[in-house]
Amino acid sequence: MKKLLLSLITGVLFTTYSANAQDKNKPRPSLPDTVKTTISSGATVEIDYSRPSVKGRTIGKDLEPMEGKVWRTGANEATSFVVDKAVKVDGKTLPAGKYAFFTIKNGNVWTLIFNKTWKTWGAFDYEKNKAEDALKVDVKGAKAPSFAEKVTYTVAKDGKVSMLWGDYMVNFTVK
């Protein structure tokens, strides 16, 4: 009886472990990407994010960002923004560290949010963690020079950070 019970427990544990391992290895439709640049001030800026695709859908209706709502500014886990030295983001100080990067689109103004709780799924827990905001900055959005099918970040040596998504372009400077 003890052997049967032990075999049953072992079988359940093995099956559970195998199923979980398969989920972790399952390909995601929004693939991860990283951009990392040492800017002219000597600070290293790294952005880790997942790249959703428009696939014929309408941004703001079928896809984020939704007007006035917090967006993880990518897909899957929250986008992370890492700086190895204290920097200024559009003139406001951001200490060295790793942050969740969120945005809120309000018309042509985008609020950039750098939150200390970086390990989170999407923006679902933002409300309970918003007291952890290290910095909020408002910037003006612009029309992208060409349509970006996937969310794309770039960081130039001069510290200009750009996020492109569909017809949207959001730029800010890190110095």
* Rounded Cα gap, residues 136 and 145, in angstroms: 26
What pTM, to 2 d.p., does this model score?
Answer: 0.83
Q: Return the pLDDT at 94.
A: 98
Cα-based distances in Å from 28 to 18, 22, 48, 63, 77: 18, 12, 15, 17, 12
Q: Return the pLDDT at 70.
A: 96
Q: Return the pLDDT at 4.
A: 46
Q: Return the pLDDT at 28.
A: 73
Q: Return the pLDDT at 13.
A: 42
How many CB atoms are located within 10 Å of the residue 173 CB? 16
pLDDT tens per residue, the chain (175 residues)? 555 444 544 444 444 444 444 455 677 779 999 999 999 999 999 999 999 999 999 999 999 999 999 999 999 999 999 999 999 999 999 999 999 999 999 999 999 999 999 998 878 888 889 999 999 999 999 999 999 999 999 999 999 999 999 999 999 999 9
Q: Return the pLDDT at 121.
A: 86
Q: Return the pLDDT at 1.
A: 52
Please give the backbone phi and psi of residue 20, each rounded to the nearest 5 degrees, phi first: -65, -40
Contact assessment for residue 35 and residue 151, using Cβ atoms and an 8 Å cutoff: no
User: What single-letter amino acid sits at 116?
Assistant: K
State the Cα angle at 141 between 154 and 171, rounded to 5°. Answer: 25
- Residue listed under structure tokens 């984020």: 64
Neighbour-count burial of 41, counting CB atoms closer than 10 A to its CB (0-12 exposed, 13-18 middle, 19+ buried): middle
